[in-house]
A and B are shown apart, each in its own frame.
Chain A
Amino acid sequence: MTAIGTQHEYGAHPIVLPPAASTAQDGLDIAPALRLGLYRRLEELRQFETRAYDLFMQQLVKGTSHLSLGMEAISAGFGAAMRKDDYTFATYRGHAHTLSRGVPMAPVLAELLGRQNGLMGGKGGSMHLTSVEHGVLGSYAIIGAHLCVANGAAWSAQVRGSGQVTVCFFGDGTTNIGAFHEALNYAAVFSLPVVFVCENNLYMEYTSIADITAVPSPAADRAASYGLPAIKIDGNDVDVVYRTAADALELARSGGGPSLIEAVTYRHGGHSRADPGKYRPAGEVEAWLAYDPLTNYRARLTRLGVADSELDGIRADVARAVDEATEEAKNGRLPDVESAFTDVWADGGSQWRN
């Protein structure tokens, strides 16, 4: 069946290839220690998500979950560039964004497992990770809404004069919902300190974004409508993301208003747990698997003279930490049933009558 509005069979859309691997960004001015930190973060996100996937397969994680495998460079780069008290708004695909703000792995894994020691005591789950003390003001599962909410946090920072910047992540598919457009106009009109980051992984759930979007670059091509410059970057290069993030954060912090950044990337797996991702044309997945943010970065660090032993050490450290976090999460007990009745209201309870 040919999809309406396209000239091809479902799943037979033109392949979008990654950029050719290059050494051009090796020379970016980023301190060696920072680069090692970025590498560590990429390892953490990769190994965490792989573990989360395994736990699904063992049916220890119920429900659904959306992984950032292949997309780690975006949250890692932003996490490193953000100030400790900046705010993050993420989506249901938010494990990486949460960890990138320094939230420990164990409570996040425990939340996936529905345990009492989970980040939200098992009341939020994979799609709603939140850690206010780390500036993670939530992960949201209704497409588009959180762009509007992010504006509110940015407005509050502006009113309070706190200098905090809000960073809001979302996908390419999100650029076609009304809330995206309301939020961008609103942020621009009030010059809010907010950075909107479109993680363009080329697909919404099971449909190519190119097939259902009027412009080729779903976010960047819309920027002009809100008086913003079009910024489109390689979302698989953590150094590029870090630099772009630092500039946008600085602009927002100094009163220059919002930015809209389109970071092009690719997910290694399907949309969510159950999706084999078969709608992606032959050749595309392989090309993007070969343009992997983690292996590419490790190769850069090697070119820059970092010893393999040091990189292996980091990888092993992270592996140990993921194992420990898994144990801690698995050892958590199930939440008390009474906890289902707490925190509907600010008084801690759920009473609706006297």
Chain B
Amino acid sequence: MAQLSYREAVSRGIAQEMSRDERVMLIGEDIGGAGGVFKTTGGLSEQFGRRRVVDTPISEQAILGAAMGAAMTGLRPIAEIMFADFFAVCWDIVVNEIAKMRYMTNGQVTMPLVIKSGNGGSLRMGAQHSQSVENWAMAVPGLKVVTPSTPLDVVGLMAAAVRSDDPVLFFEHKGLYASKGEVPDGEIVDELGKAAIRRPGKDATVLALGLMVGRALDAAEELAREGIDVEVIDVRSLVPLDTQTLLTSISRTGRLFTVEENPRLLGWGAEIASIAADECFWDLDVPIHRITTPHIPLPSADSLEDAVLPSVDRIVQDVRKGVYL
């Protein structure tokens, strides 16, 4: 058992899979010799060589195209898009090519690839380097979407993503890279499409993702002191979505809150709110409430960014208000 940082867990997970299967390759900008701009791929080039850990030009379309063509013909590549914001310059390859090729060809091709990317805010990087874009990906049929919140999940979900025969967008949260957690020795393999109950509770269900999981847990501790018992669920996987775990909890507590870092309109929680309204409406005691970043680009100044990302205080206030409705 070792204490690993989230960023070390990324390379641990990749190394585990590259050692197991020589078809697994890693490509991206500055990932090899430099170990990645977020140092999530440190040591991999030394361990697996430059044939398998490839430093590319600043060519996001070429990177993802290479991953796609290779996945169609026998390799199992992992490609890095440095900042998730940069998906915007290669979204064609993700949405029009990778996501649809199997379907359009009536199952003739399989797309076993992973795109890992640094997602999310809290690092004061401004509107072009802070976005949470997991809801963009969720909106596209043919993509699997995961967002680990702990080092252990990083390793296990990376393994599951690499072993998946479908394309997986693996969103690392930039604000979590320095965080630490216990990661057991030996092989770790998780499962896509499973949410995790991080804190059981009976009064309200709070769903969160990535950086927001820790904030939801902190809020739950505060609310517990007031006698409000909150269940916090780490959604982990948006596609496939573990509706069983989510709906069971919502039906039991009768109260649903989502904590979403994405801007408000069509955030991931909106879909879950809609499913809950359809399928467990009569179990709800109060209206569903979404706690999100407002519908604005993210500002850079620390005071402003802190004011707009969902905070522990905002979660506490909103849940308290909802519970006493």
Interface on A for B, CB 8 Å cutoff? 87, 120-121, 123-124, 128, 130-132, 137-138, 140, 142, 144-157, 159-160, 166, 178-179, 182-183, 185-186, 189-190, 339, 342-348, 350-354
Q: How far is it, in angstroms, between the C-alpha of A128 and the C-alpha of B102 when the chains are bound? A: 11
Q: Are A159 and B75 in contact (CB under 8 A)?
A: yes
Q: Are B56 and A186 in contact (CB under 8 A)?
A: yes
Query: A152 and B73 in contact (CB under 8 A), knowing A142-B97, A343-B106, A352-B239?
Result: yes
Q: Are B66 and A186 in contact (CB under 8 A)?
A: yes
Q: How far is it, in angstroms, between the C-alpha of A330 and the C-alpha of B76 when the chains are bound? A: 40
Contact of A149 among B65, B77, B106 (CB under 8 A): B65
Q: Are A183 and B106 in contact (CB under 8 A)?
A: no
Q: How far is it, in angstroms, between the C-alpha of A185 and the C-alpha of B57 when the chains are bound? A: 8
B8 to chain A, nearest CB (A): 27
Q: Are A151 and B105 in contact (CB under 8 A)?
A: no
Contact of B166 among A130, A166, A179, A346 (CB under 8 A): A346
Report B49-93 CB contacts with A as 1/0, cut-off 8 Å: 001001011010110111111111111010000000000000011
Contact of B69 among A137, A144, A178, A182 (CB under 8 A): A137
Contact of B65 among A87, A123, A148, A351 (CB under 8 A): A148
Q: How far is it, in angstroms, between the C-alpha of A229 and the C-alpha of B97 when the chains are bound? A: 30
Q: Are A120 and B104 in contact (CB under 8 A)?
A: yes
Q: Are A156 and B75 in contact (CB under 8 A)?
A: yes
Q: Which of B61, B69, B165 has the most CB of A within 10 A?
A: B69
Q: Which of B161-217 contact A (CB under 8 A)?
A: 164-166, 193
**A contact residues around B92 at 8 Å (CB):** 142, 145, 179
Q: Is B101's CB within 8 Å of the partner chain A?
A: yes
Q: Are A145 and B65 in contact (CB under 8 A)?
A: yes
Q: Is B109's CB within 8 Å of the partner chain A?
A: yes
Q: Whose C-beta in chain A lies nearest to the C-beta of B142?
A: A344
Contact of B104 among A130, A153, A351 (CB under 8 A): A130
Q: How far is it, in angstroms, between the C-alpha of A138 and the C-alpha of B106 when the chains are bound? A: 12
Q: Whose C-beta in chain B lies nearest to the C-beta of A129?
A: B105
Total contacts A-B at CB 8 Å: 161
Q: Is B283's CB within 8 Å of the partner chain A?
A: no
A13 to chain B, nearest CB (A): 30
Interface on B for A, CB 8 Å cutoff? 25, 51, 54, 56-57, 59, 61-62, 64-75, 77, 92-93, 96-97, 101-112, 141-142, 164-166, 193, 239-244, 275
**B contact residues around A147 at 8 Å (CB):** 65
Q: Are B240 and A154 in contact (CB under 8 A)?
A: no
Q: How far is it, in angstroms, between the C-alpha of A131 and the C-alpha of B166 when the chains are bound? A: 20
Q: How far is it, in angstroms, between the C-alpha of A217 and the C-alpha of B141 when the chains are bound? A: 39
**B contact residues around A344 at 8 Å (CB):** 102-103, 141-142
Q: Whose C-beta in chain B lies nearest to the C-beta of A194?
A: B69
B23 to chain A, nearest CB (A): 8
Q: Are A123 and B244 in contact (CB under 8 A)?
A: no
Q: Whose C-beta in chain A lies nearest to the C-beta of B243?
A: A353
**B contact residues around A144 at 8 Å (CB):** 61
Q: Whose C-beta in chain A lies nearest to the C-beta of B107?
A: A343
Q: Are B69 and A152 in contact (CB under 8 A)?
A: yes
A-B contact pairs, 18 of them (CB 8 A): A123-B106, A132-B108, A138-B105, A146-B97, A148-B62, A148-B68, A148-B93, A151-B69, A152-B70, A152-B73, A153-B73, A160-B74, A160-B75, A183-B65, A186-B66, A343-B102, A344-B141, A351-B240
Q: How far is it, in angstroms, between the C-alpha of A342 and the C-alpha of B239 when the chains are bound? A: 17
Q: Are B68 and A132 in contact (CB under 8 A)?
A: no
Q: Are B108 and A145 in contact (CB under 8 A)?
A: no
Q: Are A354 and B242 in contact (CB under 8 A)?
A: yes
Q: How far is it, in angstroms, between the C-alpha of A132 and the C-alpha of B104 when the chains are bound? A: 13
Q: Are B51 and A159 in contact (CB under 8 A)?
A: yes
Query: A137 and B109 in contact (CB under 8 A), knowing A148-B61, A353-B240?
Result: yes
Q: How far is it, in angstroms, between the C-alpha of A144 and the C-alpha of B105 when the chains are bound? A: 19
**B contact residues around A352 at 8 Å (CB):** 141, 239-241
Q: Are A179 and B65 in contact (CB under 8 A)?
A: yes
Contact of B108 among A120, A152, A185 (CB under 8 A): A120
Q: How far is it, in angstroms, between the C-alpha of A95 and the C-alpha of B45 when the chains are bound? A: 43
Q: Are A124 and B70 in contact (CB under 8 A)?
A: no
